[in-house]
Structure 1
Amino acid sequence: AMAGVVRAVGAADYLGQAAAGGEVLSQAQTRAARQQRHAQGAPEHRGAPDVRHTPNLSLEKRLAAQRIAQDLLERVSTLTDLGLGYLALERSTPTLSSGELQRLRLATQLGSQLFGVIYVLDEPSAGLHPADAQALFEALQRLKAAGNSVFVVEHDVQTMRRADWLVDVGPAAGERGGQVLYSGPPAGLAAVEASQTRAYLFAEQAPARRTPRQPRDWLRLEGITRNNLKNLDAAFPLGCFTAVTGVSGSGKSSLVSQALLELVGAHLGKVAGGEEAPQLDLEDDEPQSSGGRVSAGLEQIKRLVQVDQKPIGRTPRSNLATYTGLFDQVRKLFAATPAARERGFDAGQFSFNVAKGRCSACEGEGFVSVELLFMPSVFAPCPTCHGARYHPETLAVTWQGLNIAQVLQLSVEQALPVFAQQPGIRRALQVLRDIGLDYLRLGQPATELSGGEAQRIKLATELQRNARGATLYVLDEPTTGLHPRDVDRLLEQLDKLVEAGHSVVVVEHDMRLVAQADWVMDIGPGAGDQGGTLVACGTPAHVATQRNSRTAAFLAQALAGN
C-alpha cells in the first residue's frame, strides 16, 4: 500500500506537473529562520536559494520530494520482492518470525550498497512458499552481483541447484556425519555415492504416486475471524492427511495453528497445545482470540495434539530418555537386578533428579559452574563424578555389563541390540530409529536438540502410545530444517498415524510433502489483506490445475517428480 502512495511522486512525469499557488515565506521570516539555525551551530547557507520562497509543488520542491520518494520506493520494493509486502510498517520486530526477521535484515543489506562482504545465511528459505523463494534467490543474486560472497546453509533442493558451488556434509547425522563428502559445482555431486543429497538433487527417487484416502467425516468450522481471516468457512476431512498451503502471510497459521486449535480445543475442555501463556511486555498488544464456531465433526475427535518445534525441556535435566518415558522402564530394570535388591535400591535411586542416587557435588547435573572475576561463569565437568551424574554406589550396579551412566551415553542405534529382549523399551527405540533419530544419545540434553529434532521426538512419543480414541494432530511447517531424506521419514510416520485412524493437518510449503497428502487446502491468493480466503480445495491433482492458485504450478511440478 505504501509503494502505491509514493510511486506517483517517484515517477518521471511528476516533474512536469504545474506548480500550485499558495503563501510563501517573507524575506524577514527566512532571515529569522537562518539566524536561528546558525545559533544552534548549523550552517546558514546564506548564498543558497531558499525553496521556502517558492510556491507549493514548485520544481525545486518536486525535485526534493521525488528523490525522497525514489529512495523510499526502492526500500519498500526490496521488502515486497522478499515476500514481506504484507507486513504493517508499525509491526514490532519481536512479533516477527525468524524467517521474516532474517529477510528483513537481508533487505537492509541490499540497500546498503556494500561490496566485498561475506554474507552467511542459515536456511533463508525456511517458512517460505516456493513463489517467495524465487524472490529470495533473486535478492541473493543481487548481493553476489554487487561484489559480495554469499554462504547459505540450505535444505531446499531448488536453492542447491541454483548455487555456483556446493558443499555436501555427511554421510549421516550426529557422530556418523561431520565429513565433507563433496565440494564443487552442483553437477559434480552426481558422482558421490555416499551422499544422501544426491538422490534428491538429481531426482533419482521420484515420489511414489498413491490414491488419496476418502474422508470418513468432516470437521466443519464456520465464521472464522482471526488476523486476515474474515468470516471464513472451512472443512477439514477426518481420517486423512491434510496439507494447508499458501504464500507466506496468507493466513495458513491463523487458520490452523490458531483458529482450529482454539475452537476445537475449547470444545474438548483444554487449552490448545497445553502450553504456558506467553509473558507479555507492556508494549505488546492484548492476546487475540479466534472468532467462529465448530458446526460439525466434533463427535469424531477424542484428542487434540499440537506437535510443534518448541523445546521438549528448558534445562539439561530433560533429555530424550526422560521425555519419551523410556528412562522410567530402564530404571526399573536396574532396580530389579540382584545387586540393587541387595543394597535396597529402588527405581528412584537411578534418577539423577533424586538426591539419594545422584552425585551430591553437582546434584546430578554432571557439571559445575566456575565463577570468574570480571568474566562470565564457565561450566566444567564435575570433579567428583566426572560427568557421570551419579555417586559410586549407584554406578556399582550394572545391567548386562553397563551401569546407568553408560546406558545414558548409548545412541538409539547402539541401545537397540542392548534392549532387544525388553518389548516396551525396544518399541520406543524402534520408533525413534524409524523417524531418523537413531544418532541421538539417550541422555542427550533437551537444550542441545534442534527444533526439528524436538518435533520428531514429540511425534515419536505419540507413535509409541496405545491408541486412546481418534486424535487430531496439528503440525505447523514440520519440514522446517529437515533434509529431504528426513522429510520422507517424517511422511512415513504421519502416514502411520492416519492408517491408525487418526487425522493429521499440516501447514506446509514443501511441495514434495504436499503432493503426498490426501487433501489440500490452499489459502490466498496473496498475503496480508490480499489473502485470507480459500482459493482451492481438493486432492493434490485437482489443486494443481487451479489457475488462480499460486501454489498450483509448483504442486504440479512436484506431482511430475521434478
Structure 2
Amino acid sequence: MQKNISVKGAREHNLQNVDVEIPRDRLVVFTGLSGSGKSSLAFDTIYAEGQRRYVESLSAYARQFLEMMQKPDVDHIDGLSPAISIEQRTTSKNPRSTVGTVTEIYDYLRLLYARAGIPYSPTTGLPIESQTVSQMADRILGLADGTRLYLLGPIARGRKGEYRKELADLQRKGYQRIKVDGQFYDLGDVPVLDKKFKHDIDVVVDRIVVGPDIGNRLPESIETALNLSDGLLVVEFADENEKIGRKTEPKRLTMSSKFACPVSGFTIPEIEPRLFSFNNPHGACPECDGLGTQLYFDPELVVPDPTKPMGKGAIAPWSKSSSPYYLQTLGALARHYKFKLSDAWEDLSEEIQECLLYGSDDEKIKFTYDDGMRRYDVTKPFEGIISNMERRYHETESSWVQEEMERFQSNSPCEVCKGYRLKPEALCVKIAKLHIGEVCEMSIRAADKWFRELDKSLNATQKKIAVRVLKEVRERLKFLNNVGLEYLTLSRSSATLSGGESQRIRLASQIGSGLSGVLYVLDEPSIGLHQRDNQRLLESLKGLRDLGNTVIVVEHDDEAIRTADYVVDMGPGAGIHGGHIVAQGTPDQIMKSRKSITGQYLSGAKQIPLPSRRRKPAYNRWIKVVGARANNLKNVTAEIPVGTFTCVTGVSGGGKSTLTIETLYKAVARRLNDARDHPAAHDKILGLEFLDKIIDIDQSPIGRTPRSNPATYTGAFTPIREWFTGLPEAKARGYTPGRFSFNVKGGRCEACQGDGVIKIEMHFLPDVYVQCDVCQGKRYNRETLEVKFRGHSIADVLDMTVEAAGELFRAVPSVREKMDTLNRVGLGYIKVGQRATTLSGGEAQRVKLSKELSRRATGRTLYILDEPTTGLHF
C-alpha cells in the first residue's frame, strides 16, 4: 500500500494547479487564510474523488440510490481510501430528529425499556405485571403452610349500580358467597344496593389453606376467578382479616393475567420497542402526533403591547381591519365591563382580560352595530377573541386565512404528554423509577453517570436481559462526552444544533463504528468548543487515527495545528490571491517557515494586538436580563452595557446561547418585532426603551438555491442593474432593470434559464452539469451582454471579486458602499455573483454582517453574533 496520498494538478475553484503529498494513517491539518483554498483541496478534490471512486465501484443498481459527486478538476490522485466527510451542517431539519435518534442511543433505549422495563399504573403507582396461571399458583404456594386464603374474582371496582342481574346470574352458576363493600354475604342474603353509590363486589371462588395437597385444585380455582373477572385475581388473607376485624383494609394480593393495574384497571398493550417510538402511531402521543409541542393562540401575540390603549390597536388581530365591526364590538364590551377605550390592556382586571380573550360563557352582552346602511342590536354571549380565532382557524378552508392566524400562534409543550412525545402507556414503563422520556431529558453527562450506576437498581433477570444493550449505550455516551457534547440532552432536536455540534455528533458516531482504513475529512471540528474541552476533541481525533485511518482536518485552531502529525498551509492570500501551498511539514517545520503566516503566529513572531482603550457604557445605560432559568441556567441575572462591544463566553454548554439567543433575543424580538418564537423562562428584561431593533446574525446559509449570491443578498444587485439600465446603450434599447436579472425572462439566456449550466441526468451515474453552449456560462443573452460599463458586461461584473467590483463602481456610492463593507469583513476575495451554496458557514455569516453594517444605523440596534470568527485565520 502507498504511504502517501498523491495529488497532481488540482484546479478546483481557486486552486492554482496544486501538487501535494499527504502521509496516510496520520492526523493532517489543512490551514491558512479564510478563502485560501483549504476546503477546495480537502473536500472538493480529495474527498470528492475518494467518495466518487468508491461509489463507482458499486453495482449500477446500488448507485441509483446514492448521490454521486462530480469528478473534481484534477489531473491525478493516487493512494485514496473510501472517504467519509464530516462537515459543519445541521444534521436534520426534521422536528422528529433528536440527538438520541441520530446517535442511535434512542433505538437501544427503546429495546431496553421494552425488554427490561416494568410498567406502573399512573393512578395507583402499582406495578403492572402480566402473570400466567402457573406463576400465580407458585406465588400462592410460596406462602407459609397453613395460611388460610380467600380466592376472589372482582366483578365491580368503584362503580355505581344495583347489580341485581349480575348477582342473580352468579347464584344460577352455583356461587355461594360474595363480598360487597368489605363484608361477606351469602348470595341469597345480599342487601339491596343503592344505585347512587359506588360499590366494590368480589365473588368468593374458593377458600383454601396453603399446603402441598392443594396443588391440583389451585390452578382450576385461579382460572375460574380470572375468567369471571376479566383477568384479575384477588388473594385475601383470612387470618389477617379476622385479627384486624373490619375496621381497616385486610391484607390482599392482586394478580393479573394481562398488562393491567389490578386496582384501577389501567391497561397497556404488549410492551414492544415500537411502543416507545414517537415516529410510530403505536407509541406517538395522539394529541401532538409525537412532536411534543402544540400550536396555540398566544395571548402575548394577540396583545403584543399591553401598554397600548384598547381603542388604538392593543388587540393585534383586530388592529389591521378597516371594518368598523371590531371597534363597535370593543365599544360594546367596554360599556358592559365598564372600561374606557383609552385604557391600556394592562389596566384591565384579570377577570375582564379573561372574558375578552376566552369569552363571557353564558353572560349575555348587548352589541350595537352600524354598517352605514342600517343600525341594529344583538344580545348574546361574547365568544372571546382567542376562542373565535380557534374556531375560524379549524373551520376555514382558506390557506391564506390560516397563515394570517398562524402569526398569533406559539409553540408550547403538549399538555397530554408534557413534551415527552409518547403515549401515557409508554410513559408508565419505568426502569429505576424513570420513564424513557425522563432519561432523554438528562444531559449526556448525567445520562452517562446514570447508566454506569444502573446495574445497582436492576434485578438479576433485568441485568441478564440488559447487558448487551447497556454496553452499546454506555459506549456511545462515552464518545459523545469525549467530543465535548456532555451538555446536550438526548431529547434535543437536531434542528437546534449548531454546525459544530452536528459535526461532533457524527464524529462520535464514526469513532464508535470502529472502522479502519478510511479517509476522514473534517471541517473545523473545534468550532463552539471552549479551550477546556479542546483537548478531549483532539484525543478523539487521535483515537480515530489510531484505528488505522487517515484524518484530514480543515482547522484554524492553534492547538489542533500543534497536535497534528503533518500540516499543509494554504495561501498566501484569499480567493484569486490564494490557491497555493505556502508551506507543508510537521508543526515545527511550519513554525520555522518564513513564508507561512500561520507559522509566524504559532511561533509568536506575530500576535493579535489588543485594544489599549476600552469603551465605557453610554450614559450608564444597561440591558438587564432578570431570573433566566431555562435549560441549565440557575436563575441568572445578567447586565449588558448599551453602546459597547460585549463578549459572552464560557465553557461549551455553559448557557451562553440559552442566555443570549433563547432568552434575550427571543424576548426582545417578540416585544419589538412581534416575533412568534417563545423566549426561554425568565422573569423580565429591563432597558428595552434603549432599543428599537434587534438582529441575530447566525451561520445559517444566506440562500438555499444557486441563484442566491452575495450581490442579491446584500441588495447590491439592484443598484448594479439600475446603473446598467441608465447606460446610453441600454436607454437607446429601452431596457428596464428586469432586463439585467437572470431570474426573469427578457435578458437572461432561455436555453439555461439564467443558470449558466445545463443539468444532464445520467441515471446510474452522477448528474452532469455542462456549461450552456448558447451563453457560454454567462447567464444572459447576447443582446443584454452588449451593454457594457467600462468594457464590462453585467456577467463580467458578477464574475468579479468584491474587491475589483468596488474599484469599478468607485463613482457609484450605492454599489461602492456595499462592496466596501464586504471588503471590511474580510470577503474581498469572493465573487460578486458567487453561488450562496458554495459559501462556508463563516462566510455566510460575514455576508449577513456586511448587509447589516451597510444599512443606515439608528444607534439603537442590538446585534447578536454567534461566533463571528468561525472560519477566520489568525
State if a TM-score over 0.5 links the two structures.
yes
Instruction: State which of 162, 173, 184 in structure 1 corresponds to 2:574.
Output: 173
Contact 1:352 1:389 in 2 (8 A): yes
Distance 1:105 1:320, change over 3 A: closer
Contact 1:9 1:66 in 2 (8 A): no
Map 1:440-479 → 2, pairs under 5 A: 440-479=830-869
Give the distance between the partners of 1:80 and 1:359, measured in 2 at CA.
Answer: 53
Displacement of 1:263 in angstroms is: 0.9
SS at match of 2:673: coil
User: Residue by residue, what CA displacement relative to the aligned partner does 1:80-107 show, whole Å, maximum 9, x if unpaired?
Assistant: 2332223334556565444334333433
Larger Rg: 2
Moved more, 409-418 or 291-300: 291-300
Map 1:263-274 → 2, pairs under 5 A: 263-271=667-675
1:252 alignment counterpart: 656
Instruction: State which of 328, 331, 340 in structure 1 corresponds to 2:730.
Output: 340
Contact 2:667 2:678 in 1 (8 A): no
Map 1:301-450 → 2, pairs under 5 A: 301-373=691-763, 377-450=767-840
Displacement of 1:173 in angstroms is: 1.9
User: Residue by residue, what CA displacement relative to the aligned partner does 1:202-234 show, whole Å, maximum 9, x if unpaired?
Assistant: 222332242322112100122324333354322
Give the distance between the partners of 1:59 and 1:335, measured in 2 at CA.
Answer: 82
User: Residue by residue, what CA displacement relative to the aligned partner does 1:395-435 show, whole Å, maximum 9, x if unpaired?
Assistant: 11111111211121111222233222223322222222222
1:212 alignment counterpart: 614
Residues 1:156 and 2:557 are matched in the alignment: yes
Moved more, 226-235 or 308-317: 226-235
Contact 1:9 1:69 in 2 (8 A): no
Displacement of 1:288 in angstroms is: 5.6
Contact 1:170 1:181 in 2 (8 A): yes
Give the distance between the partners of 1:173 and 1:218, measured in 2 at CA.
Answer: 40
Residues 1:122 and 2:523 are matched in the alignment: yes
Give the distance between the partners of 2:666 and 2:500, measured in 1 at CA.
Answer: 25
Q: Give aligned pairs, total.
A: 425
Contact 1:263 1:292 in 2 (8 A): no
Displacement of 1:291 in angstroms is: 2.7
1:227 alignment counterpart: 631
Moved more, 411-420 or 235-244: 411-420
Distance 1:113 1:351, change over 3 A: closer
Displacement of 1:136 in angstroms is: 0.9
Give the distance between the partners of 1:454 and 1:244, measured in 2 at CA.
Answer: 22
For residue 172 of structure 1, what is the amino acid of its counterpart?
Answer: G
Give the distance between the partners of 2:780 and 2:846, measured in 1 at CA.
Answer: 29
Give the distance between the partners of 2:870 and 2:588, measured in 1 at CA.
Answer: 25
2:871 alignment counterpart: 481
Give the distance between the partners of 1:359 and 1:6, measured in 2 at CA.
Answer: 62
For residue 352 of structure 1, what is the amino acid of its counterpart?
Answer: F
2:504 alignment counterpart: 103
Instruction: State which of 633, 639, 642 in structure 2 corresponds to 1:238.
Output: 642
Give the distance between the partners of 1:224 and 1:438, measured in 2 at CA.
Answer: 40
Distance 1:203 1:335, change over 3 A: same
Give the distance between the partners of 2:674 and 2:524, measured in 1 at CA.
Answer: 35
Segments of structure 1 that go 5 or more residues without pairing to the other structure are 11-55, 273-286, 485-562
Give the distance between the partners of 1:64 and 1:317, measured in 2 at CA.
Answer: 55
Distance 1:322 1:112, change over 3 A: closer
For residue 615 of structure 2, what is the amino acid of its counterpart?
Answer: R
Distance 1:200 1:262, change over 3 A: same
Displacement of 1:470 in angstroms is: 1.6
Give the distance between the partners of 1:264 and 1:458, measured in 2 at CA.
Answer: 20
Contact 2:722 2:737 in 1 (8 A): yes
Cα RMSD (Å) = 3.0
Displacement of 1:8 in angstroms is: 5.3
Give the distance between the partners of 1:180 and 1:361, measured in 2 at CA.
Answer: 39
Moved more, 254-263 or 418-427: 418-427
User: Residue by residue, what CA displacement relative to the aligned partner does 1:135-173 show, whole Å, maximum 9, x if unpaired?
Assistant: 111222333445444322211011111222111111122
Moved more, 236-245 or 357-366: 357-366
Identity of aligned residues (%): 47
Distance 1:158 1:337, change over 3 A: same
Distance 1:145 1:321, change over 3 A: closer
SS at match of 1:119: strand
Moved more, 118-127 or 394-403: 118-127
Contact 1:226 1:289 in 2 (8 A): no
User: Residue by residue, what CA displacement relative to the aligned partner does 1:14-42 show, whole Å, maximum 9, x if unpaired?
Assistant: xxxxxxxxxxxxxxxxxxxxxxxxxxxxx
Distance 1:224 1:193, change over 3 A: same
Give the distance between the partners of 1:93 and 1:134, measured in 2 at CA.
Answer: 25
Distance 1:226 1:288, change over 3 A: farther
User: Residue by residue, what CA displacement relative to the aligned partner does 1:471-510 show, whole Å, maximum 9, x if unpaired?
Assistant: 10011122222222xxxxxxxxxxxxxxxxxxxxxxxxxx
Distance 1:188 1:357, change over 3 A: same
1:141 alignment counterpart: 542
2:257 alignment counterpart: none
Contact 1:339 1:397 in 2 (8 A): yes
Displacement of 1:241 in angstroms is: 0.9
Distance 1:440 1:164, change over 3 A: same
SS at match of 1:458: helix
Displacement of 1:7 in angstroms is: 4.2
Residues 1:4 and 2:449 are matched in the alignment: yes
Give the distance between the partners of 1:80 and 1:328, measured in 2 at CA.
Answer: 49
Distance 1:421 1:209, change over 3 A: closer
Contact 1:82 1:139 in 2 (8 A): yes
Distance 1:400 1:361, change over 3 A: same
Contact 2:571 2:580 in 1 (8 A): yes
User: Residue by residue, what CA displacement relative to the aligned partner does 1:288-331 show, whole Å, maximum 9, x if unpaired?
Assistant: 64233544211111211111112222222222222222222222
SS at match of 1:245: coil
SS at match of 1:292: coil
Give the distance between the partners of 2:459 and 2:671, measured in 1 at CA.
Answer: 64
- TM-score of the two chains, using structure 2 as the length reference: 0.45
Distance 1:267 1:57, change over 3 A: closer
Distance 1:70 1:404, change over 3 A: closer
1:192 alignment counterpart: 593
